[in-house]
A and B are shown apart, each in its own frame.
Chain A
Amino acid sequence: MELKICHLYPDVLNLYGDGGNIRCLQKRLIWRGLGAEVTRMPLGAKSSLAGYDLVFIGGGQDFEQQVLLDDLHRGRDSEIRAAVEDGVVFLTICGGYQMMGHYYETFDGKRCDFIGALDLCTIGAKKRMIGNYKFECTPSAGGSVVVGFENHSGRTMLGSGLEPLGRVLSGYGNNGEDGTEGAHWKNVFGTYSHGPLLPKNPQFCDMLLLTALGRKYGLTELQPLDDAAERAAHDEMCARI
């Protein structure tokens, strides 16, 4: 058994240790004797998104956003929408998460059109929402408590039919107001928890892997791993905030 993992735009969407999530997905497959094939798909890559089981999109700087949007609107956006409908597992973080929505409107009213795969939009605010935070995933997203770090000025609003990824226990989440964090639609998981989200939240990582393995091979259970280190890091931060 093997998962084909695509790291989309690793050259520009890599701001906050995003590579850590890829390493984590990869290692936790390998430690179980499963295959993991990771493909980096940078800006301007001609290859198709078809055939991947899991797609990762990280967060980036504003500076490269226009180049990114140009690339996206050259057909990558419709490919992503098709993959979402097809049930491919997506983990999208921060800028990558916002990008899955309809648009981003800056503080002074300029609008960037995004992919529109998820019924959400993001409005820029003056105040940045920065800090360690934690949230509890909804039962359909595995129900685990995720601890992470958020740093965003965009306030994300979910459409009425879109379920959040979880409920904020401490911190800001989507917009600092409605207590929601991230979004969950089909097999797309979007969150503001950037950087090493998965290494410190092994339960959440395994939920993603099992979703992808279940879809591809009908697998219903993963072999447990020794997560002493991961749990220590998780529990310590959970207790601190």
Chain B
Amino acid sequence: MRELSAIFRRELSGYFATPLAFIFIVVFLFTMGAFTFYMGGYFESGSADLAIFFNFHPWLYLFLIPAISMRLWAEERRTGSIELLLSLPVPLWAAVLGKFLAAWVFSGLALALTFPMWITVNYLGDPDNGVILAGYVGSFFLAGGYLAIGSCLSATTKNQVIAFVVSVVVCFLFTVSGLPLVIDFFSSWAPQQVLNTIASFSFLTHFTAITQGVIDLRDIIYFGSLITVWLVACGLVVDMKKAG
């Protein structure tokens, strides 16, 4: 635990040691706002909730989250600091989890800074704050899922651009796996059981379920196990690289 907290604190302070945190948060808040108000037509919709706001999250995260996760391991590998990290008496799981948690907390912080949206909607109308809270919880788990995928893919390369691009593609596939775009490709030949399985991997399905105000244990388990699986894979990738 001591090692985990040391890694976590170092990683988290790493975001704020450079302009990265500031720029990310500004861009994050700006695009969230821009999409919600202009593309989503928030005011025109006339409804006192944040559904439009949350609907954009999977698509914005698709690019913003890999921008955080791409550096997690690729940068360590490029600068050689990974050699220092892995020769310190730190269990591998603590390094993997510490990095992930720091990135997750950081993205959670960016998400929390959208609170003026919540204030606005409460000022303008009388929204169901329970549903909004569920939306935030869902969004946070969604970010965690993207981050776990990005973390694993970042460990496979020392090139951050490759880590970013591959992460975007894989995250995209996980996001849309329940949409006709993917399902139509399989529906002509795959049995229904397979279609259901593929669709059940979709971030969108589970995220939408949560944002509708129903925090179903199954959706939480889905995100929890997805994060776990990708983090374990991340650990395996780091460990495999040790073998040369």
**A and B are interacting partners:** no
